[in-house]
């Protein structure tokens, strides 16, 4: 402890080391702020994940009990399960371009669902891959006919992608206003639904976007980054202390030299003698 106190005394008494200490302190403050930011980001992610999981695992509700009108949607309603009964408008089916599933390129299949009141709610029935020799899918599962009951999870309207176009029957993003314009009927434009189940169950369906189990968001690497910034701050002070000690030793500081001598003696005491080494070799034979 004597040499530690000696190094600390040098840090606060000598001018050049005081400047270095100030720089190390400023660096530590910066690291602390970055660490705090990462902790805050992690907390936000954890809360968002808990909300999504709670929404996705709750019992499905009637659409009009969740969305007050066709433009309504709140961020905290993401993944909320809704129950819909209506008839698919298969002729107005659209493919959303440039969608990836397990790193494979493909399309999401959007189909407007006409509800009993005459309004339309857009359902994403799942994902299909690009064709083997063409950009479009080789085949599409048929859209169910007649009345169906759909359990879907709410997602926010993505809006248009500036400068993007698509061939007829396709769309660059889940732009609900564009879908409403094509359908020509009163359409929900605040949110759409990721289909989870359909009743009666169709014989073939697109690949689901999400498993039927509860979902959430990965909290990511925020915690590890927060700890890293704390370690960087400690390393800054540790590197400064090492530099001060080395400088004192090179200057012949008696306290540091005495500490080095004691450490050298302890190492000698712990090292086995030549006679002990020879005896150990003989015993091993």
- Average pLDDT (214-229) is 76
Structure tokens at 88: 């698919």
pLDDT bracket for residue 212 (50, 70, 90):
very low
| C-alpha to C-alpha distance for 137 and 97, rounded to whole angstroms | 11
Q: Confidence class of residue 5 from pLDDT cuts 50, 70 and 90?
A: low
Most confident by average pLDDT, 1-10, 126-135, 142-151? 142-151
pLDDT over 70 (residue 3): no
Helix (H, G, I), strand (E, B), or coil: what is residue 105? strand
For the entire predicted model, the pTM comes to 0.66
In 3D space, the residue among 143, 152, 157, 150 whose CA is nearest the CA of residue 193 turns out to be: 152
- What tokens does 278 get? 């020879």
Place of tokens 């690291």: 31
For the chain, the structural domain boundaries read 2-43+227-272, 80-199
Q: What does DSSP assign to residue 203?
A: S
Is residue 97 within 8 A of residue 166, CB to CB? The reply is yes
**200 cis-preceded (ω within 30 degrees of 0):** yes
pLDDT (tens digit per residue) in 153-204: 999 999 988 888 888 889 999 999 999 999 999 999 999 999 989 999 887 7
* Start-end of H helices in the chain: 2-13, 15-57, 63-66, 176-183, 222-250, 254-270, 274-284
More confident residue, 244 or 110: 110
Is the CB of residue 49 less than 8 Å from the CB of residue 217? yes
Give the model's confidence band at 54: pLDDT under 50 very low, under 70 low, under 90 confident, else very high. confident
Tens of pLDDT, residue by residue over 30-51, are 999 999 999 888 887 777 777 7
> Mean pLDDT over all residues of the chain?
82
Q: Sorting pLDDT into bands at 50, 70 and 90, what band is 7?
A: low
What span, in angstroms and rounded, lies between the C-alpha atoms of 184 and 195? 23
Percent of the chain exceeding pLDDT 90 equals: 39
Least confident of 31-45, 63-77, 212-226, 270-284: 270-284
Distance CA 96, CA 111 (A): 11
80-126 pLDDT tens trace: 999 999 999 999 999 999 888 888 889 999 999 999 999 999 999 99
More confident call, 3 vs 165: 165
Question: Which two tokens mark 119?
Answer: 């309004």
Whose tokens are 């029935």? That residue is: 125
What percent of the chain clears pLDDT 70, i.e. is strictly above it? Answer: 76
- pLDDT at site 219: 67
């Amino acid at each position: 402890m004597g040499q530690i106190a000696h190094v600390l005394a040098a840090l606060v008494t000598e001018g050049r080391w005081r400047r270095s200490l100030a720089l190390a302190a400023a660096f530590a403050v910066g690291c602390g702020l970055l660490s705090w930011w990462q902790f805050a980001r992690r907390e936000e992610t954890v809360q968002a994940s808990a909300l999504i999981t709670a929404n996705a695992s709750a019992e499905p509700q009637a659409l009009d009990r969740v969305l007050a009108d066709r433009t309504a949607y709140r961020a905290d309603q993401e993944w909320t399960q809704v129950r819909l009964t209506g008839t698919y408008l298969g002729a107005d089916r659209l493919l959303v371009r440039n969608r990836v599933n397990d790193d494979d390129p493909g399309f999401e299949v959007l189909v407007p669902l006409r509800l009993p009141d005459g309004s339309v709610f857009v359902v994403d029935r799942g994902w299909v891959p690009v064709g083997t020799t063409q950009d479009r899918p080789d085949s599409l599962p048929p859209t169910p006919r007649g009345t169906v009951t759909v359990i879907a999870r709410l997602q926010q309207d993505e809006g248009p992608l500036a400068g993007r176009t698509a061939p007829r029957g396709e769309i660059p993003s889940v732009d609900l206003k564009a879908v409403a314009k094509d359908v020509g009927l009163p359409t929900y434009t605040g949110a759409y639904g990721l289909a989870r189940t359909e009743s009666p169950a169709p014989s073939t369906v697109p690949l689901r976007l999400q498993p039927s189990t509860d979902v959430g968001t990965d909290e990511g690497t925020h915690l590890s980054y927060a700890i890293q910034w704390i370690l960087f701050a400690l390393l800054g002070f540790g590197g400064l202390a090492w530099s001060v000690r080395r400088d004192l030793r090179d200057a012949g500081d008696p306290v540091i030299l005495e500490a080095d001598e004691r450490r050298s003696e302890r190492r000698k005491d712990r090292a086995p003698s030549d006679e002990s080494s020879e005896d150990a070799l003989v015993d091993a034979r």
